[in-house]
Amino acid sequence: MNIYMLIVTLIILASFLTAMYLEKYYASIPALAVFITSVYFWCNPEDKMRMYIDIITVQIAMYFSIFYAYSHMDSKKFRTYISILAVGLIYYLSAILVWNLNPYISEENASFYKTITLMLHSMGTIIANYSNVFMYLTVL
């Protein structure tokens, strides 16, 4: 179990609660789904099935959120939302590249690269959820 990432996952819950407080009920559904699958995954990150469930849920939630933002925001606010989300996605992509495509990982330094990957992943989570809060605050 990765306690650090479970704590980072609470950011997703904060995003969901913000949407509920602002009465953006439909927009809150993806955040709740991602929170549930992320907790499910980070309780046992070695289980590949949990990982794939989480990845698919995050992708569907992202597509839904982008469509919701596109449908309910003016173009200037939507560009800002997409820009913030893109920065978060760059962090996720960096985490994937550092871990999966790194030829320098060995048994001696694997924990170092794992820490870097978790930090990049957590920054992606923070920024992506900030983009969601921005969307909740600015949708019509």
pLDDT digits (tens, 9 = 90+) for 33-58: 999 999 999 999 999 999 999 999 99
Res 104 pLDDT > 90: no
Residue reference for tokens 């694997």: 110
Res 4 pLDDT > 70: yes
Residue 114 vs residues 36, 56, 104, 107, 124: alpha-carbon distances, Å: 23, 22, 12, 11, 15
The residue-averaged pLDDT of 103-112 equals 88
Q: What is the CA radius of gyration of the chain?
A: 16
The amino acid sitting at 116 is I
Residue 22 to residue 17: CA distance in whole angstroms: 9
Residue 30 to residue 35: CA distance in whole angstroms: 8
Residue 31 vs residues 73, 123, 135: alpha-carbon distances, Å: 18, 17, 12
Q: Give domain limits for the chain.
A: 3-138
pLDDT-derived band of residue 1, with 50, 70 and 90 as boundaries? low
Residue 97 in contact with residue 91, Cβ under 8 Å?
no
pLDDT digits (tens, 9 = 90+) for 55-98: 999 999 999 999 999 999 999 999 999 999 999 999 999 999 99
- What does the pLDDT read at residue 136? 96
